């Protein structure tokens, strides 16, 4: 009896191994992981012989594994730096934007409903220069709001994350002081504030601490029905983040999109562009020796740029503007 | 653990008989030796790997890594002091609370409580010890932190605010809250192991003390507890090890601030917490190796604290309480 069970198990294992003729391994960013999983699943349904395994280990981890060559492709919320690209010698890495996300300021100020922030004010708060909610800078952004004379408790992410990377990149763009004092990275030396782990950690701290401010991903705020503020964009309008304004930011940045797609679309031009928006990228080698693998990956990218984009909004991501999709389809030819 | 060493003295009976292999002793000896060696091997491998991968950071910062107060991934300036401070402080706070609580409870359960109550309590304690730390961390975020912010910290500031230990705004998160959650996590260990150890004390010891006219309290405190000192200390070591290395629950309630603060109400950071927070997104060789070196520091810290505790025991052991 025992033996029979053993054989059944062994045969079943062999069966599953035979069924997945082509296994592709990928690793990287956590922020787009839900939609990637859905895409890989749908793609597998359409192409039962191709199985893509995705490990959501974080953008930095994805880049590291790609450099070490332990995955077939990577995924990241931040474009690879020149330094990182120079470490990959066997091939060049192509950046393929997949979807867009936004980052929103969330706060807990009893009595104040919807608040506006200009970039300089937000940077001032996170630098510790603006300490009170009734600071003149905040009053100027919100002339009609009832702002209390209370200390601001600043909350930031404690874990290294693409979200912090994009947020600090935005602050560096709108504040020279932030750029020189703190800089841009997945984790930085925060001048003030409490660290919360993950979106849920930041949201939890903000929710519980009166007179606090934090930042979370747009999809997290939408899914949890959180209140969040509007930001002043490069055109001088206060814009509230949603899928349209985030897509507008990408469209605004599309005109001077560099050929390799390594671009920050923070503070993008455009009347309705939401200023803290970002692409998230797949990092694809431009030389793939294995012909079947190459075809599978190109097929997947084609699927992601066309059918896949329709899944974006259902999962609260902003889809790519058409102009970007067209440019990426041209880049597909570079995979040799 | 420690009790095993107490109750089972090594019983080596070398037999030079012809029936070498028929006698299981030799084989057992060899196999168990191999198992024991694996502990040593894993430790050595661990230190070796940590040493190897922390190379770039050791080369760049040298010993200043231990005294540096800045942690700046952008400028690639790394110093471990805030994390060492936070780790030691929170573990100390945890033991300060959990040792009296745990040992006291163990004495009650082993010596004084009626058997039925003792059994129920022991079951609950073991259940508590098995709660995953992330659950405790979440519970802490939603119950302990608001409680600290609204009631306990304002109270401490009101009464003891003159001391530098209890100053600054009450965020609810910080060293004290982290110490409290660590105390909650470690005291089931102390109770469980200490109780087991106390139960191994021979009945004669108690009876002898009682026969000499000692009260129940005197017999417990002056005879039973000293007799089982090693078991209790072993439980405290385990608790310390858990407190030093605890990650999830701590990072959720400590506030994750890379400064060094005197006030227990301030947010801080621990070694395990920053490794967990930043490792996945660490890019750049120096950054990554600085995090690995923090792991090495944690390892060394654990050894130093354990050694210090051992020395403390040796130094404070009176001649009257020697282990038989």
* pLDDT tens-digit series, residues B12-62: 555 555 555 566 788 888 899 999 999 999 999 999 999 999 989 999 998
CB-nearest to A158 from B251, B279, B283 is B251
CB pair distance less than 8 Å for A188 and B73: yes
SS3 at position A114? coil
Helix (H) / strand (E) element for A34: namely: helix A33-46
CB pair distance less than 8 Å for B142 and A64: no
- Candidate from A10-24, A322-336, B263-277 with smallest mean pLDDT: A10-24
pLDDT at position A4 is 59
Distances, alpha carbon B9 to alpha carbons A40, B3, B39, B198, B306, in Å = 59, 11, 21, 18, 23
Asked whether the beta carbons of B265 and B167 are under 8 A apart, the reply is yes
Mean pLDDT of A92-102: 90
Q: pLDDT confidence of A50, banded at 50, 70, 90?
A: confident
- Residues of chain A neighbouring B273 (CB-CB closer than 8 A): 158
CA distance A60 to chain B (A): 4
Q: Which of A123-137, B131-145, B274-288 has the highest mean pLDDT?
A: A123-137
pLDDT at position A13 is 52
Minimal-distance CA residue of chain A relative to B256: A195
CB pair distance less than 8 Å for B281 and A159: yes
Which residues neighbour B126 within 8 Å (Cβ) at sequence distance 6 or greater?
B188, B192
From the candidates B147, B283, B286, B288, which should be mutated to test the interface with A, based on the most A CB atoms within 10 A? B283
Half-sphere exposure of A298 (CA within 13 A, CB side): 17
CB pair distance less than 8 Å for A195 and B257: yes
* Pairing of the two strands A73-76 and A277-285: antiparallel
Q: pLDDT confidence of A81, banded at 50, 70, 90?
A: confident
Mean pLDDT of A17-25: 67
β-sheet bridge partners, residue A95: A283
**Is the pLDDT assigned to residue A78 strictly greater than 70?**
yes
CB pair distance less than 8 Å for A59 and B251: no
Q: pLDDT confidence of B2, banded at 50, 70, 90?
A: very low
Minimal-distance CA residue of chain B relative to A60: B281
CB-nearest to A208 from B145, B252, B278 is B145
Q: Which of A43, A97, A75, A146 is nearest to A247 (CA)?
A: A97
CA distance B86 to B259: 9
- Residues of chain A neighbouring B70 (CB-CB closer than 8 A): 189
CA distance A173 to chain B (A): 16
- Residues of chain B neighbouring A159 (CB-CB closer than 8 A): 276-278, 280-281
Give the single-character DSSP code of B319. G
- Residues of chain A neighbouring B74 (CB-CB closer than 8 A): 182-185, 188-189
SS3 at position A88? coil
Q: Which of B155, B236, B247, B150 is nearest to B189 (CA)?
A: B236
Of A9 and A204, which is predicted with more confidence?
A204
β-sheet bridge partners, residue A103: A217
Q: What is the largest CA-CA distance in chain B?
A: 79
**Is the pLDDT assigned to residue B320 strictly greater than 70?**
no
Minimal-distance CA residue of chain B relative to A63: B283
Mean pLDDT score of chain A: 86
**Which residues on chain B place their C-beta less than 8 Å from a C-beta of chain A?**
70-75, 141-142, 145-146, 149, 169, 171-173, 251-252, 255-258, 267, 269, 273, 276-284, 288
SS3 at position A286? coil
CB pair distance less than 8 Å for B73 and A162: no
CB pair distance less than 8 Å for B267 and A195: yes
Q: Which of B210, B220, B21, B16 is nearest to B109 (CA)?
A: B220
Mean pLDDT of A155-162: 89
Mean pLDDT of B207-236: 86
- Candidate from A71-75, A183-187, A235-239, B308-312 with smallest mean pLDDT: B308-312
CB-nearest to B277 from A61, A197, A209 is A197
**Is the pLDDT assigned to residue B296 strictly greater than 90?**
yes
Mean pLDDT score of chain B: 85
Which residues neighbour B104 within 8 Å (Cβ) at sequence distance 6 or greater?
none
Mean pLDDT of A103-124: 90
Pair of tokens at residue A86:
């120079």
Backbone angles phi, psi at A230, to 5 degrees: -100, 155
CA distance A50 to B108: 63
Mean pLDDT of A33-50: 90
CA distance B9 to chain A (A): 42
- Residues of chain B neighbouring A183 (CB-CB closer than 8 A): 74-75
Q: Which of B322, B287, B247, B220 is nearest to B87 (CA)?
A: B247
- Residues of chain A neighbouring B267 (CB-CB closer than 8 A): 194-195
Output the 3-class SS for B156-213. Answer: HHHHHCCCHHHCCCCCCCCHHHHHHHHHHHHHHHHHHHHHHHHHCCCHHHHHHHHHCC
Helix then strand then coil, in percent of chain A rounded to 5, is 45, 20, 35
CB pair distance less than 8 Å for B278 and A204: no
**Is the pLDDT assigned to residue A16 strictly greater than 80?**
no
DSSP count for chain A of H helices, then E strands: 13, 11
Q: Quickly list DSSP for A131-179.
A: -BTT-HHHHHH-TTS---S-BPEEEEESS--HHHHHHHHHHHHH-HHHH
Residue where the block lists tokens 């012909």: A291
Report the phi/psi class of residue A319: left, alpha or beta, with left for phi > 0 and alpha for psi in -120 to 50. Answer: beta
pLDDT at position B200 is 87
CA distance A94 to chain B (A): 19
Q: Which of B135, B139, B129 is nearest to B193 (CA)?
A: B129
pLDDT at position A2 is 54
Q: What percent of chain A has pLDDT over 90?
A: 33
pLDDT at position A169 is 93
Of B226 and A1, which is predicted with more confidence?
B226
CA distance A33 to A76: 10
Distances, alpha carbon B182 to alpha carbons B39, B142, B168, B170, in Å = 27, 16, 22, 19
CA distance A52 to A41: 8
Give the single-character DSSP code of B76. T
From the candidates A33, A82, A160, A211, which should be mutated to test the interface with B, based on the most B CB atoms within 10 A? A160
Asked whether the beta carbons of A191 and A126 are under 8 A apart, the reply is yes
CA distance A102 to A278: 6
Mean pLDDT of B49-76: 90
Mean pLDDT of A218-230: 86
From the candidates A88, A167, A182, A208, which should be mutated to test the interface with B, based on the most B CB atoms within 10 A? A208
Q: Quickly list DSSP for A231-276.
A: EE-TTS-EE---HHHHHHHHHHHHTT--TT-----TT--STT--SS
CB pair distance less than 8 Å for A197 and B256: yes
CA distance A275 to A272: 9
DSSP count for chain B of H helices, then E strands: 17, 2
**Is the pLDDT assigned to residue A6 strictly greater than 90?**
no
CB-nearest to B74 from A59, A183, A205 is A183
- Residues of chain B neighbouring A63 (CB-CB closer than 8 A): 283
The count of other CB atoms within 10 Å of the CB of residue B20 is 11
Residue environment code for B207-218, b if the CB has 16+ CB neighbours within 10 A, otherwise e: eebeeeebeeee
CB pair distance less than 8 Å for A189 and B75: yes
Minimal-distance CA residue of chain A relative to B78: A189
CA distance A216 to A105: 7
CA distance B103 to B192: 9
Pair of tokens at residue B72:
């700046």
Of A45 and A18, which is predicted with more confidence?
A45
**Which residues on chain A place their C-beta less than 8 Å from a C-beta of chain B?**
57-61, 63-64, 81, 83-84, 151, 153, 158-162, 182-190, 193-197, 201, 204-205, 208-209
Pair of tokens at residue A277:
């928006």
**Is the pLDDT assigned to residue B124 strictly greater than 50?**
yes
β-sheet with A212-217: strand ranges across: A50-55, A22-28, A73-76, A277-285, A93-108, A212-217, A153-157, A194-196
CB pair distance less than 8 Å for A160 and B149: no
- Residues of chain A neighbouring B256 (CB-CB closer than 8 A): 158, 194-197
CB-nearest to A194 from B74, B257, B283 is B257
Backbone angles phi, psi at B18, to 5 degrees: -70, -35
pLDDT digits (tens, 9 = 90+) for A256-292: 788 888 888 888 888 888 999 999 999 999 888 888 8
Residue where the block lists tokens 């163990």: B106
Q: Which of A3-7, A29-33, B48-52, B209-213 has the highest mean pLDDT?
A: B48-52
Mean pLDDT of A203-224: 89
Q: What percent of chain B has pLDDT over 70?
A: 90
pLDDT at position A123 is 94
Mean pLDDT of A152-165: 90
CA distance B324 to chain A (A): 50
Helix B229-245 vs helix B285-316: crossing angle, to nearest 10: 160
pLDDT at position B1 is 40
């Amino acid at each position: 009896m025992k033996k029979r069970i053993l054989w059944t198990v062994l045969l079943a294992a062999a069966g599953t191994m035979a069924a997945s003729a082509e296994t592709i391994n990928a690793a990287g960013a956590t922020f787009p992981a839900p939609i990637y999983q859905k895409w890989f699943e749908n793609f597998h349904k359409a192409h039962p012989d191709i199985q893509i395994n995705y490990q959501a280990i974080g953008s930095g981890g994805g880049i590291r594994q790609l450099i070490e060559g332990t995955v077939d492709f990577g995924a990241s919320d931040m474009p690879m730096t020149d330094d990182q690209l120079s470490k990959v010698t066997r091939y060049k890495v192509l950046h393929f934007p997949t979807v867009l996300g936004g980052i929103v300021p969330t706060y807990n100020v009893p009595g104040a409903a919807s608040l506006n922030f200009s970039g300089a004010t937000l940077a001032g708060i996170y630098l510790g220069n603006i300490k009170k909610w009734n600071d003149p800078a905040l009053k100027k952004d919100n002339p009609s709001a009832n702002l209390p004379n209370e200390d601001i408790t600043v909350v930031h992410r404690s874990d290294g994350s693409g979200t912090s990377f994009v947020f600090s990149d935005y602050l560096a763009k709108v504040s020279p002081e932030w750029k020189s004092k703190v800089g841009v990275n997945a984790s930085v030396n925060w001048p003030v504030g409490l660290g919360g782990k993950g979106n849920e950690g930041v949201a939890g701290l903000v929710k519980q601490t009166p007179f606090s401010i934090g930042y979370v991903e747009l999809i997290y705020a939408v899914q949890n029905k959180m209140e969040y503020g509007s930001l002043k964009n490069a055109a001088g309008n206060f814009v509230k983040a949603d899928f349209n304004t985030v897509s507008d930011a990408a469209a605004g940045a599309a005109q001077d999109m560099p050929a390799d797609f390594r671009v920050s679309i923070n503070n993008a031009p455009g009347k309705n562009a939401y200023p803290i928006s970002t692409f998230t990228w797949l990092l694809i080698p431009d030389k793939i020796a294995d012909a079947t693998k190459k075809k599978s990956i190109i097929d997947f990218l084609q699927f992601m740029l066309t059918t896949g984009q329709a899944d974006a909004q259902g999962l609260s991501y902003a889809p790519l503007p058409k102009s970007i999709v067209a440019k990426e389809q041209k880049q597909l030819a570079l995979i040799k | 653990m420690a009790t095993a060493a107490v109750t089972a003295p090594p019983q080596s009976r070398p037999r030079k008989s012809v029936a070498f292999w028929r006698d299981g002793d030799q084989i057992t000896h060899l196999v168990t030796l191999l198992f024991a060696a694996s502990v040593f091997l894993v430790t050595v491998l661990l230190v070796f790997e940590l040493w190897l991968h922390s190379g770039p950071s050791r080369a760049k910062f040298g010993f200043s890594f231990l005294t540096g107060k800045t942690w700046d991934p952008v400028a690639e300036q790394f110093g471990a002091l805030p994390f060492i401070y936070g780790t030691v402080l929170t573990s100390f706070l945890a033991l300060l609370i959990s040792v009296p609580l745990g040992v006291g409870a163990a004495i009650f359960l082993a010596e004084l409580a009626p058997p039925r109550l003792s059994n129920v309590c022991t079951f609950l304690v073991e259940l508590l010890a098995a709660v995953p730390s992330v659950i405790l961390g979440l519970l802490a975020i939603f119950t302990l932190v608001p409680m600290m912010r609204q009631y306990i910290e304002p109270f401490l500031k009101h009464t003891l605010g003159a001391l530098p230990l209890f100053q600054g705004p009450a965020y609810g998160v910080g060293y004290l809250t982290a110490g409290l959650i660590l105390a909650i996590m470690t005291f089931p260990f102390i109770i469980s192991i200490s109780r087991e150890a106390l139960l191994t004390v021979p009945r004669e010891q108690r009876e002898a003390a009682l026969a000499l006219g000692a009260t129940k309290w005197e017999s417990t405190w002056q005879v039973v507890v000293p007799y089982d000192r090693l078991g209790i200390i072993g439980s405290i070591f385990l608790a310390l090890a858990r407190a030093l290395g605890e990650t999830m629950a701590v990072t959720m309630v400590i506030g994750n601030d890379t400064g060094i603060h005197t006030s227990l109400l301030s947010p801080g950071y621990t070694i395990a917490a920053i490794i967990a927070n930043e490792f996945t997104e660490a890019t750049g060789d120096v950054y990554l190796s600085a995090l690995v070196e923090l792991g090495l520091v944690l390892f060394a810290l654990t050894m130093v604290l354990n050694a210090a505790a051992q020395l403390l025991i040796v130094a404070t052991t009176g001649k009257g309480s020697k282990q038989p």
